[in-house]
C-alpha cells in the first residue's frame, strides 16, 4: 500500500523562483492587455456615443425637414381643396341656374303650342300658313332647341361636378394621410430619452420611394388643377349658353309678336276693304233692281207697242180689196213690228243679263259677308285670345 502511493515531486528553489517570475510576467501581460482593451473599448464607446448622439440629432433634423415638407404640401393640398370646393359650389350654382332656365321654357313652349292650336280655328281663306304661323313654328323649334341645349349643359356640368368631387376625395385622402404621417413624425421626434420610450405595435409597411411618393402627390395636385381649369371653362360655357338662350328666345318671341301684330293689322285692313266693297255692293244692288224693273216695264211697254202695231196692221188688212195696197204705212208698220221684235229680244237679253248681274251681286254680298265674318273671327282670335296669351310669355335671364 505504501509502495503504491508516490509522493509528489518537489520543485527546486530555482524552479520555484522561475515559476513565480513566469506568473508575474503573465499577470503583467494580462493586466496590460486588459488595460489596452479597456482603453480601446472606452474610445470606441465614446465614438459610438458621439455618433449615436449625432445620428439622433440628424434623425431629428431629418424629421423636422420632413415635417416641414409635409406641412408645405399639406398647405398646397388645403389650397387645392379650397379651390375645388369653391369651384364645386359655383358649379352647383350653375346647375341650379340651368335647371331654372330649363323649367322656365316649359310655360312659353306650352303657350306657343296653344297659340298654334287656337289659330287653327281660323276659317276660310284666313286659315293660311302666314308669317305669324311660320314664326310660331320657328318659336317652338327654338324652345325645343333651347331645352335640348340646357339639358346637355346640365349633364355636362353635373359630370364636371362629379369629377371635381372625385378629385376632392383624392385630395382629402392624401391630406389625411399626410396629416397622419406628420403627426407620427412629430410624435417620433418627441422620443429623445430612454426613459419615455413607448410600447408600439410593430408594423410591416410596404414603403414607396420618395420619387413615387412625390409623383403621386403631384399627380393629385395636377389632376386637381386640371379639373379646376375644366370647371372654370364649364362655367364660362354655361354663362355663354345662358346668355345665348336668353337672347335667342327673346329675339324669337319678339319676332313672333311682331308677326302677329302685323297680321292683325293686315287682317283689320282687309276687313275694312271688304266692308267698303260690301257697302258698294249694297248700294249697287238697289240700282240693279231698279234697272231690272225699268227693263221689265220697257218690255211691257214694247210688247204693248207691238200689239198696237199688230192691231193697226190687222185693221188695215180689212180695207176694201181695191184699197188693200202695200203703201208706205204698210211697209212702215211691218218694219216697226220687226224693230219691236228685235227690241223685245234685246230687252229680254238685257233683263237676263241684269238678273244674272243681280244674282252675282248677291253672291258677292254673301261671299263678302262670309269673308268679313271670317276676318272678324280671325281678329277675335288674334287680338283677344292670341295677344292675351302672348302678353303672358315672359323670357327671363338666369
CATH number, residue 218 = 1.20.140
Q: Are residues 219 and 367 in the same domain?
A: no
Domain extent at residue 292 = 278-318+328-392
Number of independent structural domains in the chain = 2
DSSP character for 273? Answer: H
Report yes or no on 173 lying in a domain.
yes
Cα 213 to chain centroid distance, Å, stands at 43
Residue 359 has pLDDT above 90, yes or no: yes
What does the alpha-carbon distance between residue 390 and residue 382 come to, in Å, rounded to a whole number?
Answer: 10
Q: Would you list the DSSP string of 144-175?
A: HHHHHHHHHHHHHHHHHHHHHHHHHHHHHHHH
**What local confidence, expressed as pLDDT, does residue 1 receive?**
45
Please tell me whether residue 59 adopts helix, strand or coil conformation: helix
Higher-scoring residue by pLDDT: 196, 230 = 230
Evaluate whether residue 19 is within a structural domain: no
Do residues 302 and 330 make contact, with C-beta atoms less than 8 angstroms apart?
no
> How far does CA 330 lie from the centroid of its chain?
103
User: Tens digits of per-residue pLDDT, 119-131?
Assistant: 999 998 899 999 9
State the burial class of residue 381 (Cβ atoms within 10 Å of its Cβ: 0-12, 13-18, 19+).
buried
**pTM score, whole prediction:** 0.76
Same-domain check for residues 236 and 282: no
Together in a domain, 104 and 148: yes
Using the predicted structure, report yes or no on whether residue 193 has a pLDDT greater than 70: no
362 and 285 in contact (C-beta within 8 Å)?
A: yes
Give the separation between CA 304 and CA 311, rounded to whole angstroms: 10
Which carries the bigger pLDDT value, residue 322 or residue 337?
337
The DSSP call for residue 385 is: I
CA atoms within 13 A on the CB side of 149: 20
Let me know if residue 272 belongs to a domain. no
Q: Give yes or no: residues 258 and 288 share one domain.
A: no
Distance CA 145, CA 249 (A): 10
Instruction: Name 332's Cβ contacts closer than 8 Å, sequence gap at least 6.
Output: none
Same domain, 231 and 292: no
Q: Examine the domain organization and report whether 63 and 130 are in the same domain.
A: yes
| Beta-strand runs (E) in the chain | none
- Kindly report the number of other CB atoms within 10 A of residue 199's CB atom: 4
Lowest mean per-residue pLDDT among 280-289, 299-308, 318-327, 386-395: 318-327
Per-residue model confidence (pLDDT) at position 307: 86
> What does the alpha-carbon distance between residue 350 and residue 32 come to, in Å, rounded to a whole number?
171
**Domain check: are 60 and 130 in the same one?**
yes
- 309, 340 contact by CB (below 8 A): yes
290 and 258 both lie in a single domain: no
pLDDT at 104 over 50: yes
| pLDDT of res. 269 | 96
Do residues 219 and 72 both lie within one domain?
A: yes
Is position 128 within any domain?
A: yes
Q: Quick one: pLDDT band at residue 350, thresholds 50, 70, 90?
A: very high
The pLDDT of residue 209 is above 90: no
Where does the pLDDT of residue 203 fall: very low under 50, low under 70, confident under 90, or very high at 90 and above? Answer: low
Integer CA distances (angstroms), 167 to 145, 162, 176, 231, 249, in order: 33, 9, 14, 12, 37
Residue range 214-220: mean pLDDT, rounded: 91
**Is residue 157 domain-shared with residue 230, that is, in the same domain?**
yes
Q: Are residues 246 and 348 in the same domain?
A: no
Q: So what's the pLDDT on residue 48?
A: 87
Q: Residue 292 class from Cβ within 10 Å (0-12 exposed, 13-18 middle, 19+ buried)?
A: middle
Question: In this structure, is residue 366 part of a structural domain?
Answer: yes
Same domain? For 238 and 348 the reply is: no
Question: Tens digits of per-residue pLDDT, 311-324?
Answer: 878 887 787 877 76
Report, as an integer, the average pLDDT of 187-202.
65
Least confident span in 167-181, 218-232, 293-307, 324-338: 324-338
Q: Say if 198 falls within a structural domain.
A: no
Tell me, yes or no, whether 22 lies in a domain. no
pLDDT bin (cut points 50, 70, 90) of residue 390 is very high
pLDDT tens digits for range 239-296:
999 999 999 999 999 999 999 999 999 999 999 999 999 999 999 999 999 999 999 9
126 is a domain residue: yes
Whether residue 111 has pLDDT greater than 70: yes
Amino acid at each position: 500500500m505504501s509502495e503504491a502511493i508516490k509522493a509528489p515531486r518537489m520543485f527546486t528553489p530555482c524552479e520555484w523562483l522561475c515559476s513565480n517570475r513566469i506568473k508575474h510576467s503573465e499577470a503583467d501581460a494580462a493586466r496590460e492587455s486588459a488595460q489596452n482593451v479597456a482603453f480601446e473599448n472606452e474610445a470606441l464607446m465614446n465614438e459610438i456615443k458621439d455618433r449615436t448622439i449625432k445620428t439622433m440629432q440628424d434623425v431629428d433634423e431629418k424629421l423636422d425637414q420632413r415635417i416641414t415638407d409635409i406641412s408645405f404640401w399639406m398647405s398646397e393640398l388645403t389650397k387645392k381643396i379650397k379651390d375645388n370646393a369653391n369651384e364645386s359650389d359655383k358649379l352647383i350654382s350653375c346647375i341650379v341656374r340651368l335647371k331654372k332656365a330649363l323649367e322656365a321654357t316649359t310655360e312659353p313652349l306650352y303657350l306657343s303650342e296653344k297659340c298654334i292650336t287656337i289659330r287653327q280655328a281660323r276659317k276660310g281663306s284666313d286659315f293660311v300658313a302666314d308669317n305669324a304661323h311660320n314664326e310660331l313654328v320657328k318659336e317652338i323649334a327654338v324652345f325645343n332647341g333651347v331645352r335640348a341645349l340646357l339639358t346637355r349643359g346640365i349633364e355636362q356640368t353635373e359630370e364636371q361636378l362629379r369629377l371635381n368631387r372625385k378629385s376632392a376625395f383624392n385630395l382629402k385622402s392624401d391630406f389625411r394621410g399626410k396629416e397622419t404621417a406628420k403627426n407620427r413624425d412629430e410624435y417620433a421626434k418627441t422620443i429623445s430619452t430612454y426613459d419615455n420610450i413607448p410600447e408600439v405595435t410593430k408594423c410591416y409597411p410596404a414603403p414607396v420611394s420618395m420619387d413615387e411618393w412625390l409623383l403621386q402627390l403631384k399627380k393629385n395636385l395636377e389632376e386637381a388643377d386640371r379639373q379646376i381649369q375644366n370647371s372654370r371653362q364649364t362655367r364660362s360655357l354655361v354663362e355663354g349658353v345662358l346668355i345665348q338662350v336668353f337672347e335667342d328666345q327673346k329675339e324669337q318671341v319678339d319676332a313672333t309678336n311682331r308677326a302677329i301684330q302685323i297680321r292683325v293689322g293686315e287682317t283689320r285692313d282687309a276687313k275694312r276693304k271688304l266692308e267698303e266693297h260690301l257697302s258698294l255692293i249694297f248700294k249697287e244692288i238697289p240700282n240693279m233692281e231698279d234697272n231690272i224693273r225699268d227693263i221689265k216695264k220697257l218690255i211691257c211697254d214694247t210688247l204693248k207697242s207691238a200689239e198696237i202695231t199688230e192691231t193697226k196692221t190687222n185693221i188695215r188688212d180689212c180695207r176694201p180689196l181695191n184699197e188693200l195696197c202695200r203703201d208706205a204705212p204698210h211697209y212702215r208698220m211691218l218694219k216697226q213690228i220687226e224693230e219691236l221684235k228685235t227690241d223685245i229680244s234685246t230687252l229680254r237679253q238685257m233683263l237676263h243679263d241684269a238678273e244674272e248681274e243681280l244674282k252675282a251681286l248677291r253672291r258677292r254680298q254673301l261671299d263678302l259677308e262670309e269673308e268679313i265674318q271670317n276676318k272678324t273671327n280671325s281678329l277675335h282670335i288674334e287680338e283677344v285670345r292670341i295677344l292675351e296669351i302672348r302678353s303672358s310669355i315672359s323670357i327671363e335671364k338666369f
